[in-house]
Structure 1
Amino acid sequence: MAVAVVAVLAVGGGAGLLAAWRLNANITKVDVSDAIGTDRPTQAAPDAVNILLVGSDTRKGKGNNEIGMSPDDPGDHSDTNLLVHLSEDRTWASVVSIPRDSMTPAPPECSSDAPKTQWVTRQWNHNYQIGGIGCLIRTLEGNTGVYVDHYAVVDFRGFQDMVDALGGVEVCTEEAIDDEDSGLQLSAGTHTLQGEQALAYVRVRKSVGDGSDLGRIKRQQAFLSSVAQEATSSRLLFRPTALYGFLDAATRSLTTDPDFGLGTMRDLAESVREIGLENIEFVTVPNETYPADPNRVQWQDSAEVIWESLREDHRVNEPAATRSPSPSPSASALSVSPDDIDVLVLNASGTSGLAGQSAAALTVQGFASVQVGDASGEVEDGVLVEYSAGQAQAARTVAAAFPGATVRKAEGLGETVRVTLGPGSPAVVEVPNRLGSEPLPDQPVTATEPSPQPTISTRPANESICSTS
């Protein structure tokens, strides 16, 4: 629902005139930086913004204890998990739904400093139960390489209050719903739901469709589309009392990081004022049945398409040829000379001789030491440049030799910068601060073509709420 807050501020704009001091005071702010730790990803597009939005099933606080609790799994969980990406140029946004039943690596006991080699497999929403939002962010960043700038958590009561403040939200269901657990009864078709009904609708699972959390996610995405459409309509924006009531209800329900107050929300909202609902897309992390438990899921390899799009700031499914060029690693002066950098070049391209060829082209430019080898494990297309703590600037110099390279922080490399050459890797080019004048050697070896990117299903926010796509 925090998406709706930003949407309202973007179009309405006048939150400052509506007792902003009180609205900002409504928000509970909690610093979880210690729980996240310092080993965090970097962003290729520094001005892009990633916000983790969590719907908590907490039963604490007035209005929440009236919602039934599962006796088999007590405690607070991240019932709904949305990662919102606002593009650097603010012309589009992606909203990624992460299934709550995902089984992924996670830090043991939510430790903020445990290396990934010690991580254990755990159900996604249990990260929140064990270590709160800080543990959830650390787990997300560690599995995706996507940096989280801000977070917001909303509870049951806040969800209901916001829906009521909107005057209800329209939903569309293909089949009748008769849910014994929540008492929700709806005939097939379109309905306008008030707060309590709306909460039951987005949470109902077992009595609708195949009873899975994945089906529920589709309903939640359609619901959020309807909220965004309603929140940005003139029916709300030109009724000051209703607008203030919505923002008051929304802010009273939010827990955020200390830097994500109403002022920051308003600034972000202003920056996406012209984005248009058609440029907001919903997407679900591709998944499959978890072999050890058919009631859980694991992410498919194609999920990397989503994470790469967020890291590199381009739309999901956008062809590489149409993307805006990424900022060059050498856009600002390179501060580490090649003769101060040790490089390890690994070949994951499937083409023999590529690593040696690249190493020769680096050596002639004065890099201190260039070793070669073959990569093992998962393979990414293109060039991946990895570095450990203290070597970020050295990695920039190395990445300047590989146009379009992805630069990522990793563990255990010491002072060595590791380059992995995957399918589609380009030839080495001269770095701006190279040493010597000897020309680069010929590079006749060409990497294999990258594998076709899988297409990920997306849903634009302006799509009809009755759409089942």
Structure 2
Amino acid sequence: MSEPTNGSAPDHNVSDPGPGAAGDGSQQNTATSHSRSDRHGGTTRRHPWLRRTAFAMAGVLVVALVLGVAAYVKLNGNIRRLDISGALGVRPTKEATKDAQTNLAPMNIFVMGSDSREGTNLGKGQTEYGMAGSRSDTNLIVHLSADRQSAIVVSIPRDSMTKAPRDCKNKNDSVQNGVTRQWNQNFTLGGPACTIRTFEGLTGIYIDHFIVIDFRGFQDMVNALGGVTVCLPQPVKDRQSHLDLPAGRSRVDGRNALAYVRLRHNIGDGSDLGRIDRQQAFLSSVIQEATKSSLLLRPDKLFGFLNATTSAMTTDKGLDIGQMKDIAGSVARIGTDQIRFVKLPTETYPADPNRVQWTPAADTIWKAIRQDKPLPGTKVPKKASTPTASPTTAPALTVSPADIKVRVTNNSGVPGLAKQAAAELQVQGFTIASYLTGTGSPTDGVVVRYGPTMKEAARTVAAVYPGAEMRQDAQLGSTIELSMGVGSPKAVEIPNRLGTKPLPTESITAPATSGSTPTVKARTAAQDICS
């Protein structure tokens, strides 16, 4: 049997010892040549696993990228969008500014639950901003602080009786010259546009985004979570919703979860306020479930939940998946003990005992949100101490008091305050159109209302009372309205005042508060759902 020639010998025989191995320079040179070619990339046959691993990693990255893009397109395409910007009329001025450390502004999101999407029209026409035939039983205001260390969720009772624009399609109609109607009628009449327009007019809070969740898709969201735990103080067997649960904790699927959050009969006093308590406990349970489960660590489970959520969602055109991801990331970093659920303070509506109206304590909540401050009596984490820039100087006042006409209203409950304020303005060169005593409940602080073209004039008036709040009002013309409420500060001389006569000595002082500080009851997302 003949031996193989050198040209056909297997690779592993190149370095095998053979006859003359110790002194055969040609074989040593060949081995050295192979070793060098391995080091310098001349051949990769000695480490084919490296090449296969590199190809595999590249393949995984390509597949991940394609799947990521496909998921983004899929989820973003699920969302229905409404452009309601043209139906909101004159909007509030944002009071709070960006946080120095996060460089983020506070964010207010209006979340509405809808019975149906039927009648939604995303094109042009009279129903462009509405959801004809739909009802909204759930209304939540979600406020994320600028430092992203806390969140407030306020529930508005559907049975609230408030002022609202007479016709939301008429841009000249506003809350100020509107009618009184039940809160959830705003959604039925004009969808999210009418609801937000009414809310902004009542509170002065600017809404950055809105989300409408279809109740039919709500069930899929809960099922994608794998169910949610709820708690009942008593057993419930409701014929209308077919909900049949014992007292205490129960694990429910989507169908029973929907029945639970909408339940009004056969439990408690049957009021909408009782239902809000259950809804807030349910949301706490959802947050606890998402926090403790592997939802964020299971791509399949996470995609299923996001797919169900976005499929049930209608939003404004500015809220896309990317921004939702950022918002979700911010919420995830907030401790569950810093997510607070608040039920709006209400009292019985005098004209109908089956309805409610907001109490003055509600203004405390709205003020905290406008100014991005903690709710009275609550504690928030202290921010780390970091150097901050010096406060910037306020812009110079550009309108002379001589060119400004002011109407002063006393809303403090203390007689004589409007007359005193009128004198403080008049001595500095302002023209006083009138001063009178308000007839409504006392309000807090100083509020300066102005017409669409009078912002700079309003700044001059507001400068007289440090900390005054400014609100634009489409119904006002060239006259500025000044409301003096409880806690109004003392007047100061402004830089562009006229004359040199000193301010009159104040003989009337507004009370520091409208009484004792209202107690704002809140439950945190960390709280036991049975409490």
- TM (norm. structure 2) is 0.75
Report the alpha carbon displacement of residue 226 of structure 1 after superposing the two structures with TM. Answer: 0.8
* Amino acid aligned to 1:455: T
1:133 aligns with 2:192: yes
| Count of aligned positions | 434
- Aligned to 2:409, the other structure's residue is in SS state strand
Is it true that 1:152 corresponds to 2:211 in the alignment? yes
Structure 2 residue corresponding to 1:174, chosen from 199, 217, 233: 233
Conservation of the 8 A alpha-carbon contact between 1:171 and 1:191: yes
The correspondence of residues 93-132 of structure 1 with structure 2, limited to 5 A, is 93-113=151-171, 114-116=173-175, 118-132=177-191
- For the Cα contact (< 8 Å) 2:142–2:152, is it kept in 1? yes
Q: Secondary structure at the match of 1:201?
A: helix
Q: CA RMSD in A?
A: 3.0
Structure 2 match to 1:49: 107
Q: How do residues 225-244 of structure 1 correspond to structure 2 at under 5 angstroms?
A: 225-244=284-303
Residue of structure 2 in register with 1:39 after alignment:
90
**Which of 436, 442, 452 is 1:374 aligned to?**
436
Q: What is the DSSP-based 3-state SS (H/G/I as helix, E as strand, rest coil) of the residue aligned with 1:381?
A: coil
Match of 1:397 among 445, 448, 460: 460
Question: How big is each residue's C-alpha offset from its partner over 1:225-271, in whole Å with a ceiling of 9 and x where there is no partner?
Answer: 11111123342111121111111111111100101111222233344
How far 1:132 sits from its partner (Å)?
1.4
Given the alignment, which residue of 426, 442, 465 partners 2:529?
465
Which of 74, 79, 84 does residue 27 from structure 1 map onto? Answer: 79
Counterpart of 2:155, as a letter, is S
Match of 1:347 among 388, 395, 410: 410
Greater mean alpha carbon deviation, residues 148-157 or residues 289-298: 289-298
Counterpart of 2:496? 434
User: Post-superposition shift, 1:296?
Assistant: 2.5
Q: Deviations 1:337-365 (Å, cap 9, x if unpaired)?
A: 44433333333445555445444544454
Equivalent runs, 1:301-450 vs 2, <5 Å: 301-318=360-377, 331-351=394-414, 354-365=417-428, 367-370=429-432, 373-378=435-440, 379-431=442-494, 433-435=495-497, 438=500, 440-441=502-503, 443-449=505-511, 450=513
Q: 1:31, 1:257 within 8 Å by CA — same for their partners in 2?
A: yes
CA distance in 2: counterparts of 1:269 and 1:34, whole angstroms: 28
Question: Where does the alignment leave 5 or more consecutive residues of structure 2 unmatched?
Answer: 1-66, 98-104, 120-131, 384-389
Percent identity between the aligned chains? 50
Task: Report the more deviating stretch, 254-263 or 308-317.
Answer: 308-317
Partner letter of residue 435 of structure 2? G
Once the 2 structures are TM-superposed, how far is the Cα of residue 393 of structure 1 from its aligned partner? 2.2
Separation (CA, whole Å) in 2 of partners of 1:105 and 1:158: 32
Asked if residue 267 in structure 1 is aligned to residue 267 in structure 2, the reply is no
Change (3 A) 1:206 1:417: same
Determine helix, strand or coil for the equivalent of 1:347.
strand
Residues 51 and 349 (structure 1), Cα distance of their counterparts in 2 relative to 1, 3 Å cut: same
Tell me the amino acid that sits aligned with residue 337 of structure 2.
E
Q: Is the partner of 2:137 in helix, strand or coil?
A: strand
8 Å CA contact retained: 2:159, 2:355: yes
Give the whole-Å Cα distance in 1 for the aligned partners of 2:322 and 2:170: 29
**CA distance in 1 between partners of 2:329 and 2:458 (Å):** 35
How far the C-alpha of 1:442 sits from its partner, in A, is: 5.4
Q: Hey, what's the Cα distance between the residues in 1 that align with 2:230 and 2:451?
A: 48
TM-aligned CA distance change 1:292 to 1:417, over 3 Å: closer
Q: Which amino acid aligns with 2:321?
A: L
Contact 2:205 2:370 in 1 (8 A): yes
Per the alignment, residue 138 of structure 2 pairs with 80
In 2, Cα distance between the equivalents of 1:168 and 1:312? Answer: 37
1:254 to 313, 325, 328: 313
Contact 2:397 2:496 in 1 (8 A): no
Secondary structure at 1:108 match in 2: coil
Cα distance in 2 for partners of 1:59, 1:29 equals: 12
Following TM superposition, by how much is the alpha carbon of 1:165 offset from its aligned partner in structure 2, in angstroms? Answer: 0.9
Deviations 1:282-325 (A, max 9, x none): 11122223333333222223322222222222233259xxx99x
Q: Is the 8 A contact 1:328 1:400 kept in 2?
A: no
* Structure-1 separation of matches of 2:261 and 2:182: 21
Instruction: Say which of 279, 282, 301 aligns to 2:338.
Output: 279
CA distance in 1, matches of 2:490, 2:269: 49
Asked whether the equivalents of residues 388 and 413 of structure 1 are also in contact (C-alpha less than 8 Å), the reply is: yes
Report deviation, 1:328: 9.2
Aligned match of 2:27: none
Partner residue in 1 for 2:46: none
Partner SS state of residue 184, structure 2: helix
- The aligned amino acid for 1:75 is G
* 1:370, distance to aligned residue in structure 2 (A): 3.9
Task: Give the Cα separation in 2 of the matches to 1:359 and 1:101.
Answer: 40
Change (3 A) 1:443 1:140: same
Partner Cα separation in structure 2 for residue 80 and residue 22 of structure 1: 27
How far has the Cα of 1:54 moved from its partner?
0.7
Of the candidates 190, 196, 200, which is equivalent to residue 259 of structure 2? Answer: 200
Cα 1:332–1:405, aligned 2, differ >3 Å: closer, same or farther?
Answer: same
1:48 maps to amino acid: P
Letter aligned with residue 87 of structure 1:
S
Question: Which of 282-291 and 196-205 deviates more?
Answer: 282-291
Alpha-carbon spacing, 1:155–1:387, altered in 2? closer, same or farther (3 Å) = same
User: Does the aligned pair in 2 maintain the 1:329–1:396 contact within 8 Å?
Assistant: no
Letter in 1 for 2:241: S
The residue number in structure 1 matching 2:517 is: 453
The 3 A distance-change label for structure 1 pair 313 and 439 is farther
> 303-312 or 223-232, which moves further after superposition?
303-312
Q: Does 1:92 align with 2:138?
A: no
Maintained 8 Å contact 1:329/1:397: no
TM-score w.r.t. length of structure 1: 0.84
Name the CA distance, whole Å, in 1 between partners of 2:360 and 2:79.
38
Q: Distance in 2 between matches of 1:207 and 1:356?
A: 55
Residue 357 and residue 200 in structure 1: after superposition, are their counterparts in 2 closer, same or farther (change >3 A)?
Answer: closer
Q: Post-superposition shift, 1:158?
A: 1.6
